Structure 1
């Protein structure tokens, strides 16, 4: 199969992978490898997903490795139809120093070893992704310092249609190089693509710890459009073309299933930041600019190496903090509704109390793949034993969070929506000394028998929607709070079961009065 007539630049533009934890990812790629974050943005496919782009000082094509952050997301499986390894070129005479650095940083490392006559260190990043450092003779050292990779050296693709995959890669300016067992090396002027014949191996499954795609360089927008026309003539897979602001790109799958992107060198990452401050601003895609503030609250925060950071505690529930620039003393603990996540209510919490630290928590029960706080048998029948068990685990979580994050129990407000509000009420019944201030939006009773404990001094706001089909279940809960001695405010607003614009001022006014 011949090369396409479209003019390509030389080699790989970037590689995009998926990480489960943003902070260890930053610590590895900035703190250990010495790359620079050249852009942080909400994803162009999903603005509520953080996208970090690492590279050299200016984000030059050929130096870039990028990560979609699926914070606490499900792990994938590396297999056919995926990039399985990423390699960086480093000066040959610096391999020993890189080995020492890896050992000092407790990075998993194998080698040095020889691959295709080159000296290689095989590392694993925090997600278990294989990152190779390849010694290159005569390579110039980067200006940032001796222990900074020079550029991307290449990728390894797993394929159960290896001949067709190599022929497809040849379209992008690569020529066949040496063969080593099941590996066929494809060579460009600047880098390589190794295609491994993995016939009989498992197919890849997208998720954290896997690659999303590899992008090859193309000259300009006209070249992308020409490539699109040529690929359509050759009956390639579905083709998508996008303006990614920093480059114009095309996506297509090669015959073995790996997602391939063609990306232009320009406009580049300096279009909205100067070199001195490159990568410091969190951007939102242009189509989502009206939601910019909410999106910035939704995206996971991280600290650069050497900066102060929130400690990480191993607690019974997945959780995430949002800390505003000027945090006050209050912390709001957020419990999502059915099908939500630990981040779902953060925009609501931030609008209610802009200076509050937010602690979002994810329920552990699942129903058809969505998160809940306890199992149910129907919309009105709930697993009582599971509620008791999860309430006990949540009590342990709260106590662990107070101790581990040095939270002030007197400054905690627990805010829940629907299933989360129901769970807060159950926790207050089963552990009456745990929660001293609660906001229950569309809350109801779920325990068949609500123990009547002592809730004197406990402040509770219930917000019920007049058109909520479950509104009648709120009254027994309100009556229970009063019998237990809680200071209850029960507001009814023009709303159904979902959130309403009235919720924010209603909760804000109550919190202002409760402080």
Structure 2
């Protein structure tokens, strides 16, 4: 069975204040809150999902916001940058938008064939906006603070920073089937398909032998998830990784997809998540993110769990 990857499914990071997190991703980046649930392994904590109109795979950024979370440290053994794709020619609009909101950012700079603008979220998570002419089969949210002709199309890429990148590159190429596209003195770019076109198809591996090890806490990425179309492909991937001696988990039910987890040699936690059943599994598409949703095994405790969560105000 072909278990070649089909791009990023989502990126999950750690935040502190859930309200500040929601305000930023809704009002600054203009994404849609597509699911308001909890960390299934720690249900006293929200799990917030942002994406396009339907939360299509490749558009999703998720957060575990722990109000008392210590400050993390971005460094080696982490996904250190998450890059979102925006329409070609839109960065001047984004610069004006961020300036109006007093959000610090770097001036757009040229990287390869793209212009890239960098900023940080309220917890210091490093984000890039890359102006791309590539085709993106997504559905930008038209109910937020950003016009659809300027809106985020999805996740363009992630950057993994490694003290020793050789093992990471070997896993990406030999075990996960990524294609090495380009290489410089300290950076390797891999594609998950032949062209690099589309959402979530790029991973950059940055070799920095002097980088301090990262500390996963507020303002850092927890894991990067890649896509499997269904559980049969996911299980084939799990068995192949296990046969290669990689420590991989059993398949876990996340309600909106199923998941397996493993670490690449440099320490970054990776996930393989199925495309379905999707975020309209337990609420209508037009109502996504409006109310707290729990998996069946937590629903008997819904009132108790809701009462212990921080207040979160999200505009309708």
- Verify same fold: TM over 0.5: yes
- Map of 1:50 onto structure 2: 46
- Map of 2:212 onto structure 1: 202
Q: How does 1:485-504 map to 2 (within 5 A)?
A: none
Q: Distance in 1 between matches of 2:5 and 2:242?
A: 21
- Map of 1:180 onto structure 2: 184
What SS is found at the alignment partner of 2:223?
Answer: strand
Q: Distance in 2 between matches of 1:26 and 1:125?
A: 11
Answer whether contact 2:30 2:141 (CA < 8 A) is retained: no
What do residues 56-86 of structure 1 show as CA deviations (whole Å, max 9, x unaligned)?
0001000000000111311121122111100
Q: Distance in 2 between matches of 1:281 and 1:9?
A: 33
Counterpart pick for 1:151 among 151, 154, 159 = 154
Answer whether contact 1:87 1:153 (CA < 8 A) is retained: yes
Q: How does 1:30-109 map to 2 (within 5 A)?
A: 30-109=26-105
Q: Distance in 1 between matches of 2:209 and 2:78?
A: 13
What do residues 316-352 of structure 1 show as CA deviations (whole Å, max 9, x unaligned)?
xxxxxxxxxxxxxxxxxxxxxxxxxxxxxxxxxxxxx
Q: Greater helix percent: which structure? A: 1
Q: Which runs of 5+ in 2 are unaligned?
A: 143-147
Q: How does 1:370-389 map to 2 (within 5 A)?
A: none
Q: Distance in 1 between matches of 2:102 and 2:22?
A: 15
Answer whether contact 2:5 2:178 (CA < 8 A) is retained: no
Q: Is 1:169 paired with 2:178?
A: no
Answer whether contact 2:87 2:151 (CA < 8 A) is retained: no
Cα 1:290/1:58, change in 2 over 3 Å: same
- Map of 1:413 onto structure 2: none
Cα offset, 1:277, TM superposition: 0.5
Of structures 1 and 2, the one with the larger relative CO (CA 8 A, separation 6+) is 2
Counterpart pick for 2:311 among 301, 304, 319 = 301
- Map of 2:111 onto structure 1: 115
What SS is found at the alignment partner of 2:107?
Answer: strand
What SS is found at the alignment partner of 2:150?
Answer: coil
Q: Distance in 2 between matches of 1:161 and 1:6?
A: 29
Cα offset, 1:8, TM superposition: 4.0
Q: Distance in 2 between matches of 1:214 and 1:240?
A: 17
- Map of 2:145 onto structure 1: none
Q: Which has the larger radius of gyration?
A: 1
Cα offset, 1:17, TM superposition: 0.2
Cα offset, 1:260, TM superposition: 0.3
The alignment yields a C-alpha RMSD, in angstroms, of 1.7
Q: Distance in 1 between matches of 2:25 and 2:134?
A: 24
- Map of 1:19 onto structure 2: 15
Answer whether contact 2:85 2:152 (CA < 8 A) is retained: yes
Q: Distance in 2 between matches of 1:179 and 1:156?
A: 14
Q: Which runs of 5+ in 1 are unaligned?
A: 308-515
Q: Distance in 1 between matches of 2:65 and 2:134?
A: 36
| Stretch deviating more after TM superposition (7-16 or 89-98) | 7-16
- Map of 2:274 onto structure 1: 264
What SS is found at the alignment partner of 2:205?
Answer: strand
Cα offset, 1:94, TM superposition: 0.9
Q: Distance in 2 between matches of 1:304 and 1:38?
A: 12
TM-score w.r.t. length of structure 2: 0.91
Answer whether contact 1:91 1:139 (CA < 8 A) is retained: no
Cα 1:221/1:139, change in 2 over 3 Å: closer
- Map of 1:290 onto structure 2: 300
Tell me the matched-pair count: 302
- Map of 2:3 onto structure 1: 7
| Stretch deviating more after TM superposition (263-272 or 237-246) | 237-246
Answer whether contact 1:252 1:259 (CA < 8 A) is retained: yes
What do residues 94-129 of structure 1 show as CA deviations (whole Å, max 9, x unaligned)?
111011111111112002101233100001111111
Q: Distance in 1 between matches of 2:311 and 2:205?
A: 36
- Map of 1:134 onto structure 2: 130
Answer whether contact 1:82 1:258 (CA < 8 A) is retained: yes
Q: Distance in 1 between matches of 2:134 and 2:55?
A: 23
